């Protein structure tokens, strides 16, 4: 079992791999927190922040990639501002 700090490093690594795709569309993703029950909170910024497809990007793109790379993660959710 990974420590929370190790999991956060893995999460950050996955986000770094996803970031160029979001930036190509004028957006970005920002890590907010990792909950004790392994839910990742992120904030979509730039064009992704107000895009009507942001939930699809979050669930089908970021969450899918995150769980594939870091199976301990249960889900990825949007952080409320």
The pLDDT score that the predictor gives to residue 53 is 87
Structural domains present in the chain: 4-78 (3.30.300.130)
The pLDDT score that the predictor gives to residue 33 is 96
For 38, left (φ over 0), alpha (ψ -120 to 50), or beta? left
Q: Spell out the long-range contacts of 9-17 with Cβ–Cβ below 8 A and sequence spacing 24 or more.
A: 10/69, 10/70, 11/40, 11/66, 11/70, 11/73, 13/69, 14/65, 14/66, 14/69, 14/70, 15/42, 15/62, 17/65, 17/69
The pLDDT score that the predictor gives to residue 62 is 95
Residues of the chain with pLDDT under 50: none
The pLDDT score that the predictor gives to residue 1 is 53
């Amino acid at each position: 079992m990974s420590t929370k700090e190790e999991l956060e490093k893995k999460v950050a690594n996955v986000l770094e791999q996803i970031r160029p795709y979001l930036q190509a569309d004028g957006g970005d993703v920002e890590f907010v927190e990792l909950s004790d029950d392994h839910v990742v909170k992120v904030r979509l910024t730039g064009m992704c922040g107000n895009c009507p497809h942001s939930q699809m990007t979050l669930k089908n793109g970021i969450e899918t990639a995150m769980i594939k790379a870091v199976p301990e993660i249960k889900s990825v959710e949007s952080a409320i501002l």
